[in-house]
Amino acid sequence: MSAPTLNAGRFAEALELLGEEMPDAIDEFRNLALQDIAALHRAYETNNHAAASAAAHRLAGASMTLGASRLSAQAESLEAAGKAGGPIDPDELQAMAVEVATVHRSMLAALAARDAGSAG
């Protein structure tokens, strides 16, 4: 069974910690995640496994911190591949970029639902 797109409990913890800064954190997460995916592309094109592992590690950690469970699991898999010196499928990187967009929408929806609930 695959991980959920968004771990509601972990997201709620991040929301409690970041409070009013959460909308900016969500957008920053999306931007940095896409930068890490681009770094993964470059690393694998140049056969730089250390750089690939580092980018995947950053992405996995940031994803887990905000509750993006599926994206974190995908990044952890790529981190392990980088450490092992193995290749990755470029389609896997494309799938991660799609997951970043899905996570971003899910986070914004969760934030809007929370705000709607607190306004009523």
With a CB cutoff of 8 Å and minimum separation 6, the contacts of 4 are: 69, 70
Architecture, CATH, for domain 31-113 = Up-down Bundle (1.20)
75 confidence band (pLDDT: 50, 70, 90): very high
pLDDT score recorded for residue 119: 65
Q: Which helix (H) or strand (E) holds 5?
A: none
Burial 77-94 (b: 16+ CB within 10 A, else e): ebbebbeeeeebeeeebe
Listed range (1-5, 55-59, 94-98, 105-109) with the worst mean pLDDT: 1-5
Reported as a pLDDT band with limits 50, 70 and 90, residue 86 is confident
